[in-house]
Amino acid sequence: MCMCQNKKPVCDTVKVNGAFIEWSPGEQAIHQRASKVFVGNKREIAESRIPELNTYVKRLLSLPIWFLLDESLRMFFYQTDQDTQHQPRALRRLRPPTRKVKTVKPKMELFSSPRAEAMFDFRGNGKAELNFKKGEVIFLLRRVNADWLEGTVNNQTGIFPESFVKVIKALPDSDSDGEGGAHLYSCLHCFLLTPAGVEARDVCVQEDLSIQPTHKDLLSRMRNVFQQQDIALNYRDPEGDLIRILDDEDVLLMIREGRRQQGTVNRPVNQFPWELIVTVASDLSVYNTEA
């Protein structure tokens, strides 16, 4: 410290960043630190980096929410202590203003739609078939084949035989499968051979005609259709003899044999090219045992 003759302080020494600087009251005070620090030798260099920084931040904000909520990453956005108290719930990307388009749903006039009245109660054999009671009005969707229709009633949609209903307003011709439209259901022609006689059924399923079902699935479906448990699955070879199906390999042989005969047998377009013959499991008299 320097003292003049009148013993009044005229100068002082202060330490700034490790260096001692003499300062006197007559001189100007040390300039305060600038509020903005530029990176680079010139201001233009620093400002030229602003677009790159904006692009970086925009891409950062476009990341998933779980990533942005990470503790280390959230520190990047903190400016004040109050910012640390905010828990962002969601982020949305910026997009140009758009005009809300009002969607007008066409009203369906029920009494002008194709429909039929149920003449008898019908209980389907599976999820694909529709259940209804006598007197209910069924709104028709399309024709499956010559004997089956597809319709909806009681918020349920399925197929049903046309013989159980009285058609009030028929479907237009374009909704018929004969016009080459896509088939939503496939039909499997099957028989049940018993000592009492032969029972034929057309089982409609939602699977495509090209599928290869398993032996387990076919056996379960036939048990449900004919309401019998002690049954066996069979198919006919080119000589007309019954061949019992025991596993999935036998199912594949049946499908191949059916496809070979596809051109010689006249079937509906949505019917499987092979047929199932169901017999009683203990009845071996149906098989040709001659050498």
Domain assignment present for residue 174? The answer is: yes
What CATH number corresponds to the domain at position 129? Answer: 2.30.30.40
Domain assignment present for residue 290? The answer is: no
Of residues 51 and 268, more confidently modeled: 51
Is it the case that residue 248 has pLDDT exceeding 70?
yes
Of 155, 179, 203, which residue sits at a domain end? 179
Domain assignment present for residue 100? The answer is: no
Enclosing domain of residue 250:
186-280
Domain assignment present for residue 78? The answer is: no
pLDDT digits (tens, 9 = 90+) for 38-76: 544 667 776 777 888 778 777 777 777 776 666 666 655
* Claim to verify: residue 154 and residue 192 sit in the same structural domain: no
Is it the case that residue 174 has pLDDT exceeding 70?
no
Of 132, 160, 179, which residue sits at a domain end? 179
Distance CA 207, CA 188 (A): 10
Domain assignment present for residue 63? The answer is: no
Domain assignment present for residue 230? The answer is: yes
pTM: 0.42
Count of C-beta atoms within a 10 Å radius of residue 200: 9
- Give me the residues paired with residue 145 across strands: none
pLDDT score, position 182: 45
* Claim to verify: residue 193 and residue 239 sit in the same structural domain: yes
Domain count, the chain: 2
Closest by Cα among 201, 190, 200, 204 to 145: 204
Q: Are 115 and 168 in contact (CB under 8 A)?
A: yes
Structure-block tokens of residue 237: 């070879």
Q: Are 265 and 254 in contact (CB under 8 A)?
A: no
Of 179, 198, 216, which residue sits at a domain end? 179
Which range has the worst mean pLDDT, 19-28, 110-119, 219-228, 245-254?
A: 19-28
* Claim to verify: residue 207 and residue 167 sit in the same structural domain: no
